[in-house]
Structure 1
Amino acid sequence: MSLLDAVSNSTSGLSAQSFALNTISGNIANSSTAGFKSTDTHFADLLAETGPSPQQAGGVSLSTRSSLQLQGTIASTDVATNLAISGDGYFIVKPNTGSANAPSFGGETGYTRRGDFAPDANGYLVNGAGYYLFAGPSASTPVQVSTGSASPTSLTVSPTGALTVSNADGSTKSLGTMTLAQFDGAENLAPLDGGTYLATDASGAPSYGFSGSSIATGSIEQSNANISDQFAKMIETQQAYSANTKVLNAANEMLQDALTMYV
């Protein structure tokens, strides 16, 4: 390996480890965010290639993957409108592309496990990331649990998805039936923001139903980012970053010495 190869490889390593550190920092920062799915960074050595665009061996490539299949712990919150999915599936959500006084929901359909829903000023259920809950793919407006200043005292979801809200005066109201989105290739969903994902060609189009899953009310699914695991990964990544820094510094010193010899 030449000195220039050492510089190139260590620079590639520094870039990759820096990216990994940013990913780990994001996991740690969201360890208390409802429904958050941690992201892992995967490294692969670059091998030599021949052809029209030859590539020398050395360096590293990276890719990321969200742990969408790993469910977080379901915790009770005592908030009537909080919802948590036990099993597979995603809530169907959309952003408000209008205003608070004149809401509009013509944006892209998203899918999320973040169920910290609460009624907005119009009584529509919206989660902490600002995405509104829709009962199904054909629904034109979000789930509305109240009108005016009234707040529901409880919200129940039957095994078949029937939504019922109870009010402070003891009355109950049916809100229709909700469903969940299911994906054969859920690991290939594209991250949007706030724990929301978009369907891709690789994930496939969603099917709808519970498929053995259930919804717990008054609860949320906690983040699946384990703090101790993330800090262990951070220490390992920092050590790898430091090792690449030493290689780069050593190669730089040797290059300076070589240049000095010819001056």
Structure 2
Amino acid sequence: MSLLDAVSNSTSGLSAQAFALNNISGNIANSSTAGFKSTETHFADLLAETEAGSQPAGGVSLSSRSSLQLQGTIASTGVSTNLAISGDGYFIVKANTGSTATPSFGGETGYTRRGDFSADANGYLVNGAGYYLFAGPSASAPVQVATGSAAPASLAISAAGSITATNADGSTKSLGTMTLAQFDSPETLAPLDGGTYLATDTSGTPSYGLAGSSVTAGSIEQSNASISDQFAKMIETQQAYSANTKVLNAANEMLQDALTMYV
């Protein structure tokens, strides 16, 4: 390997480790965010193009992927409108593209595990990232509950997806039937923001149904990013970054010495 190869490879390594640190810092920052799925960084060696038969390493390529299939812990919150999925599937959500007074939901359909829903001024259920919950793909408006003194004391979702609100006086009201979006390849969903994802060609068209999963009211799925695990990865990544820095500095010093010989 030439000195220029060493400079190129160490620079590639520094860039890759910086990218990994960015993902790790995001995971740590969202370790308490409901439904958050950690982002993992994957590295692959590149082969340098040479005319010789053997090919030395030519740097590193990297990619990131959300750990969408790793379930977070279900925790009770006592908030009646909070929802948690046990098993596969995603809530169907949309952003409000209108105003608070005149909401509009004509934008893209998103999919999320973030279930920290609460009622807005209109009684529509919206999560902490600002996405509104839809009971199914054909629903024209988000799930809506009563507000103020008439707000439900609790919600219940049956195994068939029926949503029932129980009021403080014990009376009940049906809010419709909820379904979940299911994907053949959920790991290839495209991240949007706030723990929301979009369908892609590789994720496939969603099918709808609980498919053995259950939805629990008054609970949320916690982040699957473990603080201890992420800090361990941060230390490892920082060490790798430092090692690449040392290689780059050593190669630079050798190049300076080589140039000095010809001056």
TM range (shorter): over 0.9
Q: Which amino acid in 2 is paired with 1:224? A: N
1:71-93 per-residue CA deviation (whole Å, 9 max, x = no partner) reads: 00000000000000000000000
Given the alignment of the two structures, is residue 2 of structure 1 paired with residue 14 of structure 2, yes or no? no
Q: Which amino acid in 1 is paired with 2:85? A: I
CA separation in 1, counterparts of 2:241 and 2:251?
A: 15
Please tell me whether the aligned partners of residues 153 and 168 of structure 1 are also in contact (alpha carbons under 8 angstroms): yes
Question: Displacement of 1:225 after TM fit?
Answer: 0.4
Given the alignment of the two structures, is residue 87 of structure 1 paired with residue 87 of structure 2, yes or no? yes
Given the alignment of the two structures, is residue 60 of structure 1 paired with residue 60 of structure 2, yes or no? yes
CA separation in 1, counterparts of 2:47 and 2:96?
A: 47
Which sections of structure 2, spanning at least 5 residues, go unmatched?
none
CA separation in 1, counterparts of 2:169 and 2:98?
A: 33
The 4+ residue runs of structure 1 with deviation greater than 6 A are none
Which sections of structure 1, spanning at least 5 residues, go unmatched?
none
Please tell me whether the aligned partners of residues 119 and 147 of structure 2 are also in contact (alpha carbons under 8 angstroms): no
Task: Give the aligned partner of residue 104 of structure 1.
Answer: 104
Please tell me whether the aligned partners of residues 123 and 148 of structure 1 are also in contact (alpha carbons under 8 angstroms): no
What are the within-5 Å matches in structure 2 for residues 130-149 of structure 1? 130-147=130-147
CA separation in 1, counterparts of 2:132 and 2:17?
A: 36
Question: Displacement of 1:258 after TM fit?
Answer: 1.1
CA separation in 1, counterparts of 2:89 and 2:241?
A: 38
TM-score (norm: length of structure 1): 0.96
RMSD: 1.5
Task: Give the aligned partner of residue 187 of structure 1.
Answer: 187
Task: Give the aligned partner of residue 229 of structure 1.
Answer: 229
CA separation in 1, counterparts of 2:24 and 2:65?
A: 12
Task: Give the aligned partner of residue 19 of structure 2.
Answer: 19
Given the alignment of the two structures, is residue 117 of structure 1 paired with residue 117 of structure 2, yes or no? yes
CA separation in 2, counterparts of 1:103 and 1:56?
A: 58
1:164-194 per-residue CA deviation (whole Å, 9 max, x = no partner) reads: 1122233221111110000010111111000
CA separation in 1, counterparts of 2:56 and 2:63?
A: 20
1:127-179 per-residue CA deviation (whole Å, 9 max, x = no partner) reads: 00000000000001000011566322111111001011122233221111110
DSSP-derived class of the 2:58 partner: coil
CA separation in 2, counterparts of 1:215 and 1:124?
A: 18
Identical-pair percentage:
86
Aligned length: 260
Q: Which amino acid in 1 is paired with 2:23? A: T
